[in-house]
Amino acid sequence: MAFFDIETLRVIWWVLLGVLLIAFAVTDGYDLGVNTLLPFVARSDVERRMVINTVGPNWEGHQVWFILGGGAIFAAWPFVYAVSFSGFYIAMFLVLSALILRPVGFKYRGKKTDLAWRARWDWALFIGGFVPALVFGVALGNVLSGVPFRFDSDLRVFYLGSLLGLFSPFALLSGLLSVAMLVLHGSNWIALKVEPGPVHERARAYGFIAGALTLVLFVLGGLWVAQGGLGFRLAAAADHFGPSNPLRSAAVAAPGAWLDNYRAAPATVLAPVIGLLGALLAVIGNRARREWLAFAGSALACAGIVATVGVSMFPFILPSSVDARSSLTVWNASSTGHTLGIMLFCTVVFLPLILLYTGWALRVMRGRVTTREVGLNPDFY
């Protein structure tokens, strides 16, 4: 793509990575939230089938955002991919194992009419929703805190952490925020998609609690960042056009530095404001029985909270807590301009197609799921 220089391409791909993560949180996020709520909002087999079929037609299509996000990191930010997918290997394996339970649970649950058999698969679906939601949040908490890795002079990466080390107090707070946010989103989807009745009311009740927790945990996380001394800062002006080499730019740990961008560019405060207002709108919509308003609010909360992490950290993508000089930024960790340009061309062509397909599928599958349909439709789970 000769239209853009390397600096612009790097920023474009930083934005696109954020867009992919937000799209994953907004679409597959409510799938994870629904799975997490399944054993609690539905108490009979018919009720649980009704809840499962609120996401049954579309959950597989939403996986595309997860795949695109991983592919974008691999191709656009190879150093980030190398560090995160090796350092977080066990955590990634845990997430993938939990995600594998989801298709297996959907397909095998209805193979037998035995209620004990189905109950076991319902808890498998719960694990497939709760564990990824928690681990994704814990991962973002670790990214904000800094990850224990370093590069040697030959650019070999050494990860110095452990699995238990990932679950620091701040990381656990981030994980709980992620769970609350996605449960809020999932509860609003259930309330939007099921017929009025006991499941609808239980979903609203859990949604109100999750919305309140999302607001409280997001504020606590912001106060922790402001008062707890989290942050990194470039030690000198970065060369935006230089080659991708993590060791060519110096960075230092700087308590409170994650607030720098809000001071330098006040417009960036829109990200956390959208996160807070979205969660508040979801709670208001919940209380007012405006399901679409509540769902729109939780979608905005997901977008704003994820965007807050990216905006706070720019230009850092993956800071190092043991050797700040090894930290990965937008300016020192990307692929070549040629690679970024080719990928951008492919994205411009295919991303609109994905959006059109997703919108078409949601439109075709619109409407509420009822107990009558569950009993009569042979294509339902």
Tens digits of per-residue pLDDT, 199-256? 999 999 999 999 999 999 999 999 999 887 789 998 888 888 888 888 877 788 888 8
**Cα 313 from Cα 7, distance rounded (Å):** 17
Average pLDDT, the chain: 90
Q: What percent of the chain has pLDDT over 90?
A: 59
Q: Which of these ranges, 32-41, 60-69, 165-174, has the smallest mean pLDDT?
A: 60-69
Q: DSSP letter for 194, please.
A: B
Burial code (b: 16+ CB inside 10 Å, e: under 16) for 300-335 equals: bbbbbbbbbbbbbbbbbbbbbbebbebbbbbbbbbb
Mean pLDDT over 103-121 rounds to: 89
Q: DSSP letter for 320, please.
A: B
The pLDDT tens digits for 295-352 are 999 999 999 999 999 999 999 999 998 888 889 999 989 999 899 999 999 999 988 9
Please report which confidence band the pLDDT of residue 92 belongs to, taking 50, 70 and 90 as the band edges.
confident
User: Exposed, middle or buried by CB within 10 Å (0-12, 13-18, 19+), for 23?
Assistant: buried
C-alpha count within 13 angstroms, C-beta hemisphere, residue 341: 10
pLDDT of residue 249: 75
Per-residue pLDDT at 266 exceeds 90: yes
Please report which confidence band the pLDDT of residue 179 belongs to, taking 50, 70 and 90 as the band edges.
very high
Per-residue pLDDT at 25 exceeds 50: yes
pLDDT of residue 1: 46
Mean pLDDT over 278-286 rounds to: 96
H helical segments located in 289-336 = 291-313
Q: What percent of the chain has pLDDT over 70?
A: 99
The pLDDT tens digits for 55-79 are 988 888 888 888 888 888 988 999 9
Enumerate the β-bridge partners of residue 151.
157
pLDDT of residue 2: 55
pLDDT of residue 176: 97
User: Phi and psi at residue 320, in whole multiples of 5°?
Assistant: -100, 130
Return the higher-pLDDT residue of 291 and 229: 291
Per-residue pLDDT at 276 exceeds 90: yes
